[in-house]
């Protein structure tokens, strides 16, 4: 059954059904639309996310390691304290 046939069948069922059924269909459609919107948002990478080469990723990892060696990091316990306080 194609999309046009399904659409026609649904419209016929809705037109000849009770108000309760129409409300139920409406709730289901709204829930599905919300799920699809959320799923499509998750699939789109954020604007700042750009593809990187292996060399670029390795450079970032080396820089991060150097920061840790210099003590430029925050522990999970300190992070929890910071956000509990704010």
Question: Is pLDDT at 86 greater than 60 in this prediction?
Answer: no
Stretch 72-82: mean pLDDT, rounded? 90
What is the model's pTM?
Answer: 0.40
**Sign of dihedral through CA atoms 71, 76, 80, 81?**
negative
CA distance linking residue 84 with residue 70, whole number of Å = 26
Cβ 22 vs Cβ 14: under 8 Å: yes
Q: Is the pLDDT of residue 59 over 90?
A: yes
Dihedral sign of CA atoms 45, 48, 53, 55 in order: negative
Identify the pLDDT of residue 36: 80
Say what percent of the chain tops pLDDT 70: 94
Residue 53 DSSP class: -
């Amino acid at each position: 059954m194609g999309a046009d046939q399904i659409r026609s069948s649904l419209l016929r069922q809705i037109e000849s059904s009770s108000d309760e059924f129409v409300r139920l269909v409406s709730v289901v459609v709204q829930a599905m639309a919300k799920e699809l919107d959320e799923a499509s948002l998750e699939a789109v990478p954020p604007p700042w996310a750009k593809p990187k080469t292996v060399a670029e990723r390795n450079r970032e990892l080396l820089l991060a390691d150097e920061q840790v060696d210099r003590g430029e990091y925050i522990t999970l316990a300190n992070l929890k304290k910071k956000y509990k306080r704010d």
